[in-house]
Amino acid sequence: MSAPLRIREKLMRRIHAHGVETYPHECCGALLGSDGDGTREVLDLLPLANRRNDSPRNRFEVTPDDVRLAEKTAREKRIDLIGWYHSHPDAPARPSEYDRDHAWPWYSYIIVSVQKGEPRDTTSWRLHDDRAGYDPEAIEVVANRASI
Amino acid sequence: MAVKVIIPTPLRAYAGKQESVEVQAATVGEALLALTGKFGELKKHLFSEDGRLRSFVNVYVNDEDVRYLQKDQTPVREGDTVSIVPSIAGGARN
């Protein structure tokens, strides 16, 4: 199993707040941070609009233009685009078959379950190299520190 | 024609950890074929089992999405940049 994904408490709270704000629709956003030497850490977030207007309660989509914006934002901050977060309203924080079918390797995928408008479980996942499934990625929530 | 293919971060591990790869091609389709010929591991992440580009894989020539050009038949010229850009999708229920 890979090293845990580190994230500061205030960033995790922002992910939860985003999920609450868009409930009962799915929220989504980019995880910006660092990856290397066996550690991966989220250092900033880029909340994005869910572009799946036809089915936002159980689907999310980030367009290639938004992906390019996330990459550019990361470059400007001299960090990397390391993954994505989204919410599962009134559903478990586990990747669905649809999640797996659309996932990319290497990225961390944080999922927060929002039950009746309240954030519950939060998990992170990484796709297998052969696309056959996900490995859970432990999340290590660390105390806040000065922002970069 | 030598064209540069930009590899997105999640796929670099399957392309010798390179940010870009130079290939010889006259069309976008040929460029992707040359790329997966060099790096076979990329194939399953770019193409579905029936050989079609996955729906969340987007290809740009310079700054133009090839879907609005001639798709895989879009011609490329010496010095063009072909970018593979992910779109991200998912959701709670199957």
Q: Which residues contact A79 (CB under 8 A, 6 or more apart)?
A: A32, A33, A34, A43, A44, A148
Please state, as a whole number, how many other Cβ atoms lie within 10 Å of the Cβ of residue A85. Answer: 29
With an 8 Å Cβ cutoff, is B86 touching chain A? yes
Each residue of B34-91: pLDDT tens digit?
999 999 999 999 998 898 999 899 999 998 999 999 999 999 999 999 999 999 999 8
- What separation in angstroms does the CA of B57 have from each of A22, A67, A93, B53, B63? 27, 12, 25, 7, 15
Query: Would you state the pLDDT for residue A145?
Result: 67
With an 8 Å Cβ cutoff, is A131 touching chain B? yes
Query: Would you state the pLDDT for residue B92?
Result: 87
- Which CATH topology does B2-86 take? Ubiquitin-like (UB roll) (3.10.20)
- In tens digits, chain A (148 residues) has pLDDT values of 578 999 999 999 999 999 999 999 999 999 999 998 789 999 999 999 999 989 999 999 999 999 999 999 999 999 999 999 999 999 999 999 999 888 999 999 999 999 999 999 999 999 998 888 999 999 999 997 655 5
Quick check: B88 and A84 CB within 8 A? Answer: yes
Q: Give the residue carrying structure tokens 């030497």.
A: A37
What pTM was computed for the model?
0.92
Tell me the torsion sign for CA atoms A135, B14, A96, A54: positive
Burial class (CB in 10 A: 0-12, 13-18, 19+), A116: exposed
**Min distance A3 CA to chain B CA atoms (Å):** 17
Q: Which helix (H) or strand (E) holds A47?
A: strand A39-48
Quick check: B10 and A95 CB within 8 A? Answer: no
Query: Do strands B64-65 and A5-8 pair parallel, antiparallel, or not at all (unpaired)?
Result: unpaired
With an 8 Å Cβ cutoff, is B81 touching chain A? no
- ipTM for the predicted complex: 0.86
Class for the domain spanning A5-142: alpha beta
Query: Would you state the pLDDT for residue A37?
Result: 78
Round to whole Å and give the CA distance between B31 and B37.
10
Round to whole Å and give the CA distance between A69 and A136.
27
Which member of A60, A68, A80 has the closest CB to residue B91? Answer: A60
Query: Would you state the pLDDT for residue B93?
Result: 74
φ/ψ region of A104 (left if φ > 0, alpha if ψ in -120 to 50, else beta) reads beta
